[in-house]
């Protein structure tokens, strides 16, 4: 599971590093989900929720505040039922020795 998450995260970072605005990892026991806001080329944004390795756009807007509301709503719902969410500010990928 950890390898899958690392590969997924690596893919996300390499594809969206220039447009990724905000990223959260939420976990409950050994299950991990993610929430992210991406800035689009037309200056709009979209909020994406990843569950069981499947991404789903849960909202979009012309202003970042709209996308933050979508993210905070889902994050709050997860935390209310026992999930722990943490903001990921930067990602370092290193090789195992």
The CA distance from 37 to 87, in Å, is 12
- 72's CB contacts (< 8 A; 6+ apart) are none
- Whole-number pLDDT of residue 26: 98
Residue 5 has pLDDT above 50, yes or no: no
Mean pLDDT confidence for 59-73? 97
Most distant CA pair in the chain, distance = 45
**pLDDT, position 89:** 87
Q: State phi, psi for 27 to the nearest 5 degrees.
A: -135, 150
- pLDDT tens per residue across span 22-54: 999 999 999 999 999 999 999 899 999 999 999
User: Looking at residues 7-29, what average pLDDT do you find?
Assistant: 67
């Amino acid at each position: 599971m950890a390898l899958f998450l690392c590969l997924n995260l690596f893919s996300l970072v390499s594809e969206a590093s220039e447009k990724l605005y905000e990223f959260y990892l939420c976990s409950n026991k050994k299950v991990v989900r993610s929430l992210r806001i991406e800035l689009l080329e037309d200056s709009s944004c979209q909020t994406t929720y990843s569950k069981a390795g499947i991404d789903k756009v849960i909202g979009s807007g012309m202003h970042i505040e709209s996308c933050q509301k979508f993210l905070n709503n889902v994050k709050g719902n997860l935390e209310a039922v026992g999930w722990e969410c943490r903001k990921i500010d930067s990602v370092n990928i290193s090789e195992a020795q």
